[in-house]
Amino acid sequence: MHHGTSVRYSPRRRPGVGRFLSLTGIVLIGALTTACDEDPTPPVEGSVSGTVTLEGAALSGVNVTLSGTVGDMSATTGGDGGYSFSNVIEGSYTVTISGFPSDTEFDATASVSITPGSRNATADFAGTYIRTASVSGSVMVEGMGLAGIMVALTGTESQTATTGDDGAFSFSNLRMGEYTVEMSGWDPDRYVFENTSESFSVSVGEQKMVDFMGTRREYTFQVAIENISVPYPYSASGLFAVPVGAMEPGPLLPGNAYAFEFEAGPGNYLSFATMMVHSNDLFYAPGPGGIPLWNGHEQITGDITDQIMLWDAGTEMNEEPGEGPNQPLQGGPDSGEADPNPLVRLADDEWETLPAVDSVIRVTLESTGPTTFRVTIENISLDHTLITVRGLCLEVPLAPGVFVVHHGPNPLFAPGAPISAHPVGAHGLEALAEDGNITMLAGAVQMGTGLFNLIAPGIYASHADPGLLFHPGTTASPGVEAMAEDGNPAILGAEVLLTGGFRSAGAFAIPIGEMMPGPLFPGGAYGFEVTAVHGEYLSFVSMLVQTNDLFFAPPPEGISLFPDGQPLQGDVTSMVMLWDAGTEVNEKPGVGLFQAPRQLAPNTGMDEMGMVRLLDDEMFTYPETGQVIRVTVRLKG
């Protein structure tokens, strides 16, 4: 048998041909016999396998295609990233992966071969993420970078950064994905940020910008400027007790005179009191308004006797003048009965023996200098000026007395009120009127004598740089000059607005509790609010009114509103100084004709042509800053 293979012979022969065919048939028969008797060689089979990893981590779900000798085969990576093709016959193949994430990079093809000597081929694929995205930005506060702020990037990947001196930060080599940038580490007492984090997505190669814009935290401070000076009722005072030409104190007898001098500026008045010795409690004095010393800028001089009156102190029952047993020349001190009418009043001539004032006393006023006066009180009575009911003729002695220079009414007593109700008269006027004893009253008026200080409206500002309101060692600006000489804040306020460089600024002009602008009297206060941020200062300027060009102010850099990093609270008067604007020649405080309360027009004093400086005038006496002004700062809320 020959496995279906047969050979046919032809009956015709040619010479030699038969032998050839015979041999050929033998060979074919042998060949066919051999082929049918042996098994064929089986094909070579193997496998192709591998893993797909992404930065060392198994990547599942990746499509793997095997292309080659037997056509295409496909598989998908499992949870371990592996794939496998089995029964792969001998040949050359290409392994291709696809379907991996778009933000990754792979060599996506590999060549493998199945051979009798290498039946198990391996093709591994290792990929990396594409890190070409970046996030950068800045932390800014009012246009300035904030250094040292921590910035955290979280999400698909995480990184941290710290802002540089310019406030900038950056994150590079990022994958595509979802991210959040959050800042931390700023001082919430200093800065306010509306947003401190931002979430977003980035794609491959994207450059994302994230900026955090903040503001400096503003604080509101309440500032009070108080006039704490003593409201002295008298600018000058004294006593007269030694008659002219005498060496010792004593009563003023006919033909003799008392004299005293004082200094006073326009707007001041003179008052005095001296006892009519032949009485129980009568005294000579001007009316409750006093004697005017000035008419504009002209000193009043001459005989002023017509302004002198005889008053009843209302402290002791009246007896007939010159006859009463309880009058100084007849009895002891303070020995009479109380007056049933305790009110101060003009003397009542109930015995019709009282002499006319101008028959007893003559008072003259003369100028001894631009602002100085001399007063002469003469006893012009005669030995019969007082005639009693029984015909006793008497001269009228006058007792030592007390004088005051004042600006308000009722300096020593108030008509129609008891002496005991008067703040000064209660301390000695009774002794003067009853006994001619001036010791107690002289001491009382001395304690009430001093400079009546006023503080003018002013300008304030919060700022960072020094010298916003004035510059020591330089000529005062027109605004500072007007402020220091005339208490006018308008020009300086305009200069500040034009210059800028402040956070808040304004004027303080209306005393608390008042309706209209005006100077600050003792006991009064100005109040205002100012906003500021860390690193800023408070400055203000306010005139000391009874001077030519002096003003209260802190140093040019101002008062730190955040000492030691904390908002300022409390009394800051120690940081306030008295400055000289150097624009007008100084006069005696409270007296000078060209000082604001007394000048006829603004800016009328003699030009000093000096520089702004701390007060260094040794010619006159000035009050201590802390005796006039108190400045307190409180954090609102």
Q: What is the pLDDT, as a whole number, of residue 30?
A: 44
3-state secondary structure of 258: strand
Which 3 state secondary structure label does DSSP give 441? helix
* Domains detected in the chain: 1-40 (no CATH), 45-129 (2.60.40.10), 141-217 (2.60.40), 221-226+452-635 (2.60.40), 234-447 (no CATH)
pLDDT digits (tens, 9 = 90+) for 179-204: 999 999 999 999 999 999 999 999 99
Residue-level pLDDT at 39: 61
Q: State the Cα–Cα distance between residues 445 and 424, nearest whole angstrom.
A: 7
Residue ranges in the chain modelled with pLDDT below 50: 1-37
Two tokens at 455? Answer: 């503080």
Instruction: Encode pLDDT of 376-423 as tens digits.
Output: 999 999 999 999 999 999 999 999 999 999 999 999 999 999 999 999
Instruction: Determine the Cα–Cα distance for residues 456 and 507; give it in Å rounded to an integer.
Output: 11
Contact present, 47 and 82 (Cβ < 8 Å):
no
SS3 249: coil
Phi-psi region of 491 (alpha: psi -120 to 50; beta: other; left: phi over 0): alpha
What CA–CA distances, in Å, run from 328 to 10, 277, 325, 401, 436? 198, 6, 8, 15, 8
The count of residues in the chain is 637
CA-CA distance, 240 to 246, in Å (whole number)? 12
Pseudo-torsion of CA 425, 443, 448, 287, nearest 10°? 40
Sign of CA dihedral 386, 388, 389, 392: negative
Q: What is the amino acid identity at position 475? A: T
The candidate with the shortest Cα–Cα distance to 198, out of 154, 161, 168, 167, is 154
CA distance 204 to 133: 6
In eight-state DSSP terms, residue 418 is B
Number of Cβ within a 10 Å radius of residue 566? 11
CA proximity to 95, closest of 129, 71, 67, 135: 67
Is residue 364 a contact partner of residue 376, using CB atoms and an 8 Å limit? Answer: yes
Tell me, what's the pLDDT at 69? 81
